[in-house]
Amino acid sequence: MAEKKEPRKVTTHTLQEMKQAGEKIAMLTAYDYSMALAIDAAGIDVILVGDSASNVMAGHETTLPITLEHMIYHAQSVIRAVKRALVVVDLPFGTYQGNSKEALNSSIRIMKESGAHAVKLEGGKEVEDSVKRILSAGIPVMGHLGLTPQSIYKFGTYTVRAKEEAEANKLLEDANILQEAGCFGLVLEKIPATLAGEVTKRLSIPTIGIGAGNLVDGQVLVLHDMLGLTTEFHPRFLRRYANLYTDITGAVTNYISDVKSKDFPNEKEQY
Ligand code: KIV
């Protein structure tokens, strides 16, 4: 009998090869087993266990409250489902900033306790030492520049970043610092498309955009947003591929009605 072939796993090297070949990288968030199973089976390249779990799973207004323990729990659930995708886990707020030793310890906990493949952190020059220290333990690191939601109280709003020359130049410098420090990839969030294109041209590592136009090496969206499970978030960059909120409320309304009318369960649905 012919052996069932396991899909070829995506690694950080695969992403590098994809950039070189001009093949776009598709990345989505996931925080639980069932969703991760479905998007991995669909062929997604990278799954981000994002700290956006704080918003979409726990209902917080920002990403700040989520803890390392929560992130590890979500990552463990995702890892159990994944056969092919590269799984990257966000280092949550307060577990890496300003202390490279803590950054390393947090990353080791994520890798050891969840079996994830890489970590992601926000910021440029400020996190350079942390990136180097995490990498010294052999843990791949992804950077994140532009709109960095963990700094929302510094920015004050979720509007487009780096429209002014000074901030755009700082972003270009930070991107270079992260690449030199050894990051394998870089998320660019909500910045002008031309700037994202410029970063992508200057860097040899892949860039993944969210609200950063199409001159980048790949795209990422929050799964719950693109599936239409969240309904109150309408940024220009968000394309909705389904309307699950409507589908779910419709299905549940039908279920309630069937239970109340004694239509469910019927003869065939009982023992
Ligand atoms: O946490 C997250 O979902 C993210 C993406 C927006 C890139 O960091």
CATH class of the domain whose range is 12-240: alpha beta
Pocket of ligand 1 contains residue 225 by CB under 6 Å: no
**Average pLDDT of every residue of the chain:** 97
Which pLDDT score is estimated for 250?
98
Pocket of ligand 1 contains residue 52 by CB under 6 Å: yes
Three-class SS of the chain: CCCCCCCCCCCHHHHHHHHHHCCCEEEEECCCHHHHHHHHHCCCCEEEECCCHHHHCCCCCCCCCCCHHHHHHHHHHHHCCCCCCEEEEECCCCCCCCCHHHHHHHHHHHHHHHCCCEEECCCCHHHHHHHHHHHHCCCCEEEEEECCHHHHHHHCCCCCCCCCHHHHHHHHHHHHHHHHHCCCEEEEECCCHHHHHHHHHHCCCCEEEECCCCCCCEEEECHHHHCCCCCCCCCCCCCCCCCHHHHHHHHHHHHHHHHHCCCCCCHHHCC
Distance (angstroms) between ligand 1 centre and the Cα of 4 equals: 34
Q: What is the pLDDT of residues 162-202, one digit of tens each?
A: 999 999 999 999 999 999 999 999 999 999 999 999 999 99
Domain spans, the chain: 12-240, 243-271
Which pLDDT score is estimated for 218?
98
Distance (angstroms) between ligand 1 centre and the Cα of 254 equals: 34
Q: What is the pLDDT of residues 72-121, one digit of tens each?
A: 999 999 999 999 999 999 999 999 998 999 999 999 999 999 999 999 99
Q: What is the pLDDT of residues 28-82, one digit of tens each?
A: 999 999 999 999 999 999 999 999 999 999 999 999 999 999 999 999 999 999 9
Q: Which of 46, 90, 219 to mutate to test the pocket of ligand 1 (most atoms within 8 A of CB)?
A: 90
Confidence of residue 7 (pLDDT cuts 50, 70, 90): confident
Which pLDDT score is estimated for 2?
66
pTM, entire model? 0.96
